[in-house]
């Protein structure tokens, strides 16, 4: 019998992993349908505001990986790793072009930037890139997660595909969307990686990912779009689960993608798409009187199927000390000689 987890701790996070936008995103990022061209400058500003909310406003320590122009979708870090408690599963994305993000990359003197909250300032401190001793060919995401002292498992089965955007963790169990990007074998490997939790699969037919129309808006609360396909998926989840979840139905499917956080010093936090873009859905979120609501726009990334959860991996690590790194007087991270 799978564990029901610890719902009281659901939404806790101390760190977030993000990645900068490559300019190649505008012309070469994957998208389900042709549409408006991405305004890169605006997309970059929106992403910076998004990261600022996580770091400056909410106090998370943000690990920022640099952009790679050869990987136009690399800003969507959610798809390449699933993190739960002390374990991180490096996925095998369904789009072949995205699998390069899991391969070794040639990095010249910079493979990740740590941004940590400065308690004496209103903005985070940005540290210089970390240098990894004797290792110039690195798997960037894996290395970042290992530096956060997580148990990293890699999905190596060539028959498996899994996008993190298809993985919904409720605090009690996992739901995995079976989409064009995620298959049954990928779901099976995820279940093997997180044995303490039940894993159920949900067909996804009219959307890119499961979380294109649903996400967790709080402990026990599923935000769900109002479309027929979204409601059908919710019904399947309800039938598959031994637990009864509350639901929050929003008119716009994409607006059901939100980020819930439980910050001890701040309480229940919900990042959701802005009322300027989705006014009727925002009105639904305003009914959550116990939540601090933070509207965030990712309208430019939406043009290439990006949403709020796509752009970060949230991790809960208390009292983390990067034991393999030292900080010198200038505040730069590096490895001891």
Can you tell me the distance from the alpha carbon of 105 to that of 121, in angstroms, rounded to the nearest whole number? 35
Res 193: pLDDT: 98
- Report the pLDDT value the prediction gives residue 58, as an integer from 0 to 100: 98
Place of tokens 């990645």: 19
pLDDT reported for residue 36? 80
The overall average pLDDT reported for the chain is 83
Number of C-beta neighbours around residue 1 at 10 A: 5
The residue among 102, 78, 95, 259 whose CA lies nearest residue 165 is: 78
Mean pLDDT of 291-295: 98
What is the per-residue pLDDT for 325? 35
pLDDT digits (tens, 9 = 90+) for 3-43: 445 566 899 999 999 999 999 888 766 565 676 898 999 99
> Per-residue pLDDT averaged across 150-169, rounded?
96
Q: Is 337 a residue whose pLDDT tops 70?
A: no
Q: What is the mean pLDDT of residues 121-143?
A: 45
Per-residue confidence (pLDDT) for residue 27, from 0 to 100: 75
The pLDDT score that the predictor gives to residue 133 is 28
Residue 122 confidence (pLDDT): 38
Catalytic residue (one of 15, 47, 209, 268): 209
- Model confidence pLDDT, tens digit, residues 177-188: 999 999 999 999
pLDDT digits (tens, 9 = 90+) for 196-254: 999 999 999 999 999 999 999 999 999 999 999 999 999 999 999 999 999 999 999 99
pLDDT at 308: 98
Picking from 91-100, 112-121, 288-297, which range would have the lowest pLDDT averaged per residue?
A: 112-121
Higher-scoring residue by pLDDT: 168, 38: 168
Residue 304: pLDDT over 50: yes
Please say if the pLDDT value at position 329 is more than 50.
no
- The residue with greater pLDDT, 138 or 165, is 165
Q: What is the pLDDT of residue 32?
A: 58
Above 70 in pLDDT, residue 319?
no
What percent of the chain clears pLDDT 70, i.e. is strictly above it? Answer: 77
Report the alpha-carbon distance of residue 55 to residue 53 in Å, rounded: 6
Using an 8 Å Cβ cutoff, are 290 and 269 in contact? Answer: no
For residue 8 the two structure tokens come to: 């009281």
pLDDT classification of 270: cutoffs 50, 70, 90: very high
pLDDT score, position 95: 67
pTM: 0.84
Residue of higher predicted confidence among 103 and 11: 11
291 is catalytic: no
In this prediction, residue 318 carries a pLDDT of: 76
Three-state SS sequence of the chain? CCCCCCHHHCCCCCEEEEECCCCCHHHHCCCCCCCCCCCHHHHHHHHHHHHHHHHHHCCCEEEEECCCCCCCCCCCHHHHEEEECCEEEECCCCCHHHHHHHCCEECCCCCCEEEECCCCCCCCEECCCCCCCCCCEECHHHHHHHHCCCEEEECCCCCCCCCHHHEEECCCEEEEEECCCCCHHHHHHHHHHCCCCEEEEEECCCCCCHHHCEEEEECCEEEEECCHHHHHHHHHHHHHCCCCCEEEEECCCHHHCCEEEEECCCEEEEEECCCCCCHHHHHHHCCCCCEEEEECCCHHHHCCCCCHHHHCEEECCCCCCCCCCEECCCCCEECCC
6 is catalytic: no
Mean pLDDT for the stretch of residues 36-65: 96
Q: Cβ(163)–Cβ(77) under 8 Å?
A: no
Distance CA(292)–CA(259), nearest Å, equals: 12
pLDDT at 4: 47
Quickly state the pLDDT bin for 139 (edges 50, 70, 90).
low
Inter-residue contact 121 to 66 (CB < 8 Å): no
């Amino acid at each position: 019998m799978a564990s029901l987890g610890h719902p009281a701790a659901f939404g806790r996070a101390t760190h977030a992993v993000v990645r900068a936008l490559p300019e190649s995103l505008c012309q070469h990022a994957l998208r389900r349908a042709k549409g408006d061209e991405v305004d890169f400058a605006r997309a970059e500003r929106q992403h910076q505001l998004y990261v600022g909310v996580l770091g400056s406003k909410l106090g998370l320590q943000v690990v920022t990986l640099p952009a790679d122009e050869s990987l136009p979708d690399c800003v969507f870090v959610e798809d390449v790793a699933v993190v739960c408690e002390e374990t991180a599963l490096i996925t095998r994305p369904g789009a072949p072009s995205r699998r390069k993000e899991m391969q070794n990359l040639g990095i010249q003197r910079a493979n990740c930037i740590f941004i940590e909250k400065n308690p004496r300032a209103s903005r985070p401190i940005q540290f210089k890139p970390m240098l990894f001793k004797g290792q110039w060919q690195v798997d960037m995401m894996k290395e970042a997660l290992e530096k956060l002292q997580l148990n990293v498992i890699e999905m190596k089965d060539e028959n498996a595909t899994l996008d993190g955007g298809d993985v919904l963790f409720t605090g009690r169990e996992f739901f995995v969307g079976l989409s064009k990007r995620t298959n049954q074998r990928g779901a099976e490997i995820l279940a093997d990686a997180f044995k303490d939790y039940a894993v159920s699969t949900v067909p996804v037919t009219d959307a890119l990912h499961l979380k294109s129309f649903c996400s967790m808006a709080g402990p026990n609360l599923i935000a769900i779009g109002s479309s027929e396909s979204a409601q059908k998926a919710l019904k399947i989840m309800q039938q598959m689960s031994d637990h009864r979840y509350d639901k929050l139905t929003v008119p716009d499917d994409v607006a059901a993608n939100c980020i819930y956080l439980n910050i001890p010093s701040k309480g229940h936090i919900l990042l959701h798409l802005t009322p300027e873009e989705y006014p009727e859905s925002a009105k639904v979120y305003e009914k959550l009187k116990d939540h601090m609501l933070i509207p965030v726009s990712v309208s430019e990334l939406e043009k290439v199927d990006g949403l709020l959860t796509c752009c970060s991996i949230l991790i809960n690590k208390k009292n983390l000390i990067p034991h393999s790194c030292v900080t010198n007087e200038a505040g730069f991270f590096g490895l001891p000689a």
